[in-house]
Structure 1
Amino acid sequence: MPDADSTTQPSRFDVDGVGLAYEEAGAGAATPLVFIHGWTANRHRWDHQFEHFAKSRRVLRLDLRGHGESDTPTERYSIDGLAADVRRLLDDRGIERFIPIGHSMGGMIAQTLTLAQPERVERLVLVGSVSQMVYSRSRGLVMAASKSVPYNTFVAINIQRAFKRGYPKELIRKYIADSQATPRHVVMSCYDAMREFDVLDRVREIQVPVLIVHGRHDIQFPPAQAERIAANCANATVKILDTGHECPIENPGAVTEAIETFLAAP
């Protein structure tokens, strides 16, 4: 969801006839960072972090298949498929070793990339994400009810809940409108893909350092789910922020600082 002043034109990459929009910037010897957005969002979720880290290292971000300025094929979407798109893009750009940074569904994709090719991942950053989709009773009731209402209402209900209470309503309305622009078949298929996602019994295989950033007021994925990931990881650090689910835009500076501190650690 772009900032009002964002005018960057993305590059294009073709994956078997499906065009993906992406941006690449920065340079340096440090391992490249790859920013992966979440459900109904786009690459601009990472505006603050992308611009900050591009000053010191190579960074890449993309609009996932079906989102933002990428193509929106009518098909069944899956976390594995979205991860394969990211991997193809990295291969095309000559990025062998990288640090995936994923928000929400993007964190699921980041975990999938890490588990599939652990030798390519130096560190892993998960922001407002989970290793297993588990709903509280209230969350389940909201999802069941929202799926029976018109599409735009379904999206609005879920995006509204993603922000900590008190976040400016006019900004939330902009994010809702942008999410509603994501085609219905993409939103619903990705929603089903997230429901099926479960690698909790495999995260112990991840041996690289892991940073888990989570909002204290996240009711989409309550903080206890972040602690479940950490409990199963060999080397995980948890950073809890005073935000809802949308950490990268609710408090972008805090997310950037947490990532920078993590990258600087031995």
Structure 2
Amino acid sequence: MGFVQLADGELNYQLDGPEGAPVLVLSNSLGTDLHMWDIQISAFAEHFRVLRFDTRGHGKSLVTEGPYSIEQLGQDVLALLDALHIERAHFCGLSMGGLIGQWLGINAGERLKRLVVCNTAAKIGTPEVWNPRIEMVLRDGPVAMVALRDASIARWFTADFAEANPGQAKLITDMLAATSPQGYAANCAAVRDADFREQLSSIKTPTLVIAGTEDAVTPPSGGHFIQAHVQGAEYAEFYAAHLSNVQAGAAFSDRVLEFLLAR
């Protein structure tokens, strides 16, 4: 664990894997922290110097006044890379992390080697979805975060997975209850306002899109849209709800490694 000093606070990060190996950045979803990737680390760290971080407003990272924007969160990633003297890296982000990955591909492609965007879309949801959630969280604070945690199990995992793996599901959803209400609401606004549908074609970085067959938050149609608009993009789909990296586990890790290690 370590902290990078940004202009307005500290960004929490963790490095795993051999020094000198190519860097792979992992970006968390809305309402989780860097530990959402724990299941991937042993496989990824065999080949990469894995850099994961708590997105602004999450985990142990800074919580600043909202609303945030995906551009702001993307600039945080660039500041992290700069602080650690990393010129170029692979990037893998899920949901909100996938929006950050799209922004980087569009605006800072020279910093990326390969890009993986998972369980995401060029536009996620509508103001009618996001605004009531933002209002509830800002009004009710920690009580709202617990209510969101309890509702998130059905969104993040299929019923059969949650029933068979209650400990794992609880470990992940407890991250949501522990998230700063102010930070969560500010990031909801960032997701609400992001729309890359007209910009995807400018991504020239080799890209893999991953979707979950049972993902009601970001259905496979959103992944197909990204694949269709990013030249040469590959596509993979797993039996999973929104957190395919957790539910698909080793199969997810294997497909990402296959893509990142391809010649």
Q: If the length of structure 1 is used for normalisation, what is the TM-score?
A: 0.87
The answer as to 2:3 corresponding to 1:12 is yes
> Is 1:215 the counterpart of 2:212 in the alignment?
yes
Match of 2:65 in 1: 74
Q: 1:186 aligns with which of 160, 183, 193?
A: 183
1:73-222 equivalences under 5 Å are: 73-134=64-125, 151=144, 152-169=146-163, 170-171=166-167, 172-222=169-219
Helix, strand or coil at the partner of 1:166: helix
The change in CA–CA distance for 1:173 and 1:29 in structure 2 (over 3 A counts) is closer
Which is richer in helix? 2
Give runs of ≥4 in structure 1 deviating > 4 Å. 139-150
Kept after mapping to 1: 8 A contact 2:157/2:242? yes
**Matches of 1:215 and 1:255, distance apart in 2:** 10
Partner Cα separation in structure 1 for residue 45 and residue 156 of structure 2: 28
Q: Secondary structure at the match of 2:161?
A: coil
The residue that corresponds to 2:15 in the other structure is 24
Q: Which residue of 1 aligns with 2:233?
A: 236
Residues 1:224 and 2:221 are matched in the alignment: yes
Alpha-carbon distance between aligned partners in 2 of 1:146 and 1:161, rounded to the nearest angstrom = 18
Change (3 A) 1:22 1:84: same
Cα distance in 2 between the residues matched to 1:105 and 1:119: 21
Tell me: CA distance 1:20–1:145, structure 2 relative to 1, closer, same or farther (3 Å). Answer: closer
In the TM superposition, residue 155 of structure 1 has moved relative to its aligned partner by: 4.3
Q: Which moved more, 1:14-23 or 1:139-148?
A: 139-148
SS in 1 for 2:40: helix
Offset at 1:29? 6.0
Quick check: 1:147–1:154 contact (8 Å CA) kept in 2? no
Change (3 A) 1:79 1:146: closer
In the alignment, the residues of structure 1 paired with residue 100 and residue 78 of structure 2 have an alpha-carbon distance, to the nearest angstrom, of 10
The residue matched to 2:160 in structure 1 has which SS?
Answer: coil
- What is the rounded CA distance, in whole Å, between the counterparts of 1:134 and 1:103 in structure 2? 15
Unaligned runs of at least 5 residues, structure 1: 1-9
- Contact 1:13–1:21 (8 Å) recurs in 2: yes
**Inter-partner Cα distance in structure 1 for 2:161 and 2:197:** 31
Per-residue deviation, residues 67-90 of structure 1 (Å, max 9, x unmatched): 112122333222111111111010
**RMSD in angstroms over aligned alpha carbons?**
2.4
